[in-house]
Amino acid sequence: MITNTNINNKKNINNISNFIGVQNPVREFKSNQNCLRISSLGGFGDVTQNMFVYEFIPNGDATKSQIIIVDCGVGFPEEDAFGVDLQIPDTQYLADKKDRILGIFITHGHEDHIGAVRFILPILGQNIPIFAPKLAAAFIESRLAEVNIRVNLTVYQDSIPIQKGVFTVDPIRVTHSIPDTFHFAITTPAGIFYHGSDFKFDVFPLDGKGADFAHIARIGEQKVMALMSDSLGADKEGWSPSESSIAENFRYEITSAKGRVFVTSISSNIIRWSQAIEYAKGVGRKIVIVGFSVDKAINIAKDLGYLTLTDSDIIPPERTKNFPDNKLIFLVAGFAGQPDSALGKMVMGKHRIKIKSGDKVIFSSPDYIPGTTSNIYTMIDTLSKMGAEVVYGEKEELHVSGHGYQKEHALLINLLKPKYLLPIGGNFRHLKCYQGVAEKLGYSEDKIILPDFDASVNFYSNGTYDTNFHIPIRKILIDGFGIGDVGTTVLRDRKLLAEDGMFSVVLLMNKETGKLEKDPVILSRGFVFVKENTDLISYLKQEVVNKFNEATSTPANFEFIREEIQAHIEEIIYQKTGRQPMVLPLVIEV
């Protein structure tokens, strides 16, 4: 892990000594065949932290392997991960293989597929080439510029194969909730592997660019060894609704509003921003962009031609008072209920723009991020209490999934006719539903691979596979500027503080005489309010003095005194209150 890393300092970001020279506790690998090993550095059975290693091992000699990586995304913390901002894949397995990494190939521009590049590239090496579609490349370049990282970045084109070492990577256009989304047909000496990351088959895409079914079918004619397929929508029957199916509802919510309109979505949801801009301009509303991430994404999309927006269409937030409410639409960051987002600050009254009665707030995002549901509904409740009309897309009225349902998975399987199926991009319940779809298509259980979280899948040139090889996967958490310096112990302490608070006692003592110089000072935070619990505080203060007198000596051992008081007070507090606050005795020599 990287300790106390400042991501704004290029030199600090390269402080990766704790990642180097680590012995990989993997199971032994023995084979004399060509092998293609697929490992998930975010772990199989996880929706986010997408980062897949394709490693070709010639004749079983792992020291001569060649590697490409597909995607490099972040994960999002659960609601009980106090203070943690992000989680990134664990690259420990690659620590002694960095010179064999031929490139990183990006499927599309969502954060769970590109967000970890700025953290991981300095670890693996900034000279590793990155290949990405146009929109994702612009997002990556923008994020890396924020931390002064230069990158070898190439924009790939639809259906133009890329050769790197023994790998040939053929990009295939598909549809998703963001433009420029691709699958990869990866040809290796061990066979053809189809990497089918996030997708749906939208036959009425708003941008007119549908999936390239003919290209997929051509790949299927070449004997695909394995299909790695997105499975997040596999628990839903039928076909996923088209983006065009919600267009009229979305248009109505904007055009029928009597007052101000606020639209919030994930910043990279260019399709939704484009719709909002088009519908608002159609009824004479001015566009107000609020929030750094949304502003950056919209400007990138505008520069690349994904949406039409002129300077005369936009007004800055400070000029909104010059326009009537029914002539304004706000495109706002904060769809996930983040308290430090633009929308979060508006709700708390800490932004120059205040939410008021009569406003309409539209939540529209293709898929909510795991771990954010509670924050989103809390924000919706607060907005409703403030008198705003909140529209949040229940029953797919204002958002549709960006992930294909069961019939789309069946179609992809039938087009490719792979020997093996390896579902990815879903939790285990999604993987099991995908297995059910595959079995209906005639695949036996031994052809559907559901590996353990930390397993690698080895495909051999004789057409067999195994999952015996395992890699180390730790939780690498991002907290502010720190990368990996928040572990389970820190999270446990934060949970304890959040639930039971803190009780601290300060003792000023003379080390030589072993006596207290003053009465103990009690501090309580999140445990009890001192002024309303004087009897309890007085009792605890006396217990501190009693235990101190038992533990002190001449000369005094500060550490022994501290440990004795801590253990005693923890026990007394639990007996008296049933609570377990963090007890912190501080012994100071005077």
Tens digit of each residue's pLDDT (9 = 90 or more) over 308-320? 999 999 999 999 9
Highest mean pLDDT among 211-215, 353-357, 477-481, 536-540: 211-215
Find the range with the poorest average confidence among 139-143, 287-291, 450-454, 536-540. 536-540
- pLDDT of res. 84: 55
Q: What is the mean pLDDT of the chain?
A: 87
- pLDDT of res. 369: 63
Exposed, middle or buried by CB within 10 Å (0-12, 13-18, 19+), for 20?
exposed
CA dist list (Å): 218 to 137, 221, 223, 246, 412: 27, 5, 10, 33, 12
Q: What is the mean pLDDT of residues 54-77?
A: 93
Q: Is 496 helix (H, G, I), strand (E, B) or coil?
A: helix
- pLDDT of res. 371: 60
- pLDDT of res. 582: 81
Q: Which two tokens stand for residue 66?
A: 């060649």
Q: Which two tokens stand for residue 2?
A: 């990287």
- pLDDT of res. 583: 84
Instruction: Tally the C-alpha atoms within 13 A of residue 181's C-alpha that lie toward its C-beta.
Output: 28
- pLDDT of res. 180: 96
Q: What percent of the chain is modeled with pLDDT above 90?
A: 63
- pLDDT of res. 186: 98
Q: Where are the domains of the chain?
A: 30-239+401-483, 251-393, 501-589
Determine the CATH number of domain 251-393: 3.40.50.10710
Q: What is the mean pLDDT of residues 78-101?
A: 80
- pLDDT of res. 307: 93
Long-range contact pairs involving 1-4 (C-beta distance under 8 Å, separation at least 24): 1/474, 1/476, 1/483, 1/484, 1/485, 1/487, 2/123, 2/482, 2/483, 2/484, 2/485, 3/482, 3/484, 3/485, 4/481, 4/482, 4/485
Is pLDDT above 50 for 14? no
- pLDDT of res. 26: 52
- pLDDT of res. 56: 98
335/263 Cα distance (integer angstroms): 9
CA dist list (Å): 155 to 104, 196, 298, 409, 423: 12, 19, 20, 28, 27
- pLDDT of res. 553: 82
- Report the candidate in 122, 93, 44 with the shortest Cα–Cα distance to residue 431: 44
Q: What percent of the chain is modeled with pLDDT above 70?
A: 87
Highest mean pLDDT among 162-171, 479-488, 491-500: 162-171
| Confidence band, pLDDT 50/70/90 cuts, at residue 415 | very high
| Confidence band, pLDDT 50/70/90 cuts, at residue 524 | confident
Is pLDDT above 90 for 497? no
Phi/psi zone of residue 449: left (φ > 0), alpha (ψ -120 to 50 degrees), beta?
beta
Q: How many other C-beta atoms can be found within 10 angstroms of the C-beta atom of residue 505?
A: 24
- Give domain 30-239+401-483's CATH superfamily: Ribonuclease Z/Hydroxyacylglutathione hydrolase-like (3.60.15.10)
Q: Which two tokens stand for residue 335?
A: 């769809």
pTM: 0.80
- pLDDT of res. 6: 34
Q: Which two tokens stand for residue 269?
A: 């949801």
Backbone angles phi and psi of 346, in degrees to 5: -60, -45
Is pLDDT above 80 for 365? no
- pLDDT of res. 512: 82
Find the range with the poorest average confidence among 108-117, 119-128, 490-499. 490-499
Q: Check if 30-239+401-483 and 501-589 are the same fold.
A: no
The label of the residue with tokens 């110089």 reads 517
Domain 501-589 belongs in CATH node 3.10.20.580: yes
Backbone angles phi and psi of 309, in degrees to 5: -150, 120
Q: How far apart are the first and last CA of the chain?
A: 38
Backbone angles phi and psi of 175, in degrees to 5: -110, 150
**Hey, what's the torsion of the CAs at 152, 153, 154, 158, to 10 degrees?**
150
- pLDDT of res. 481: 44
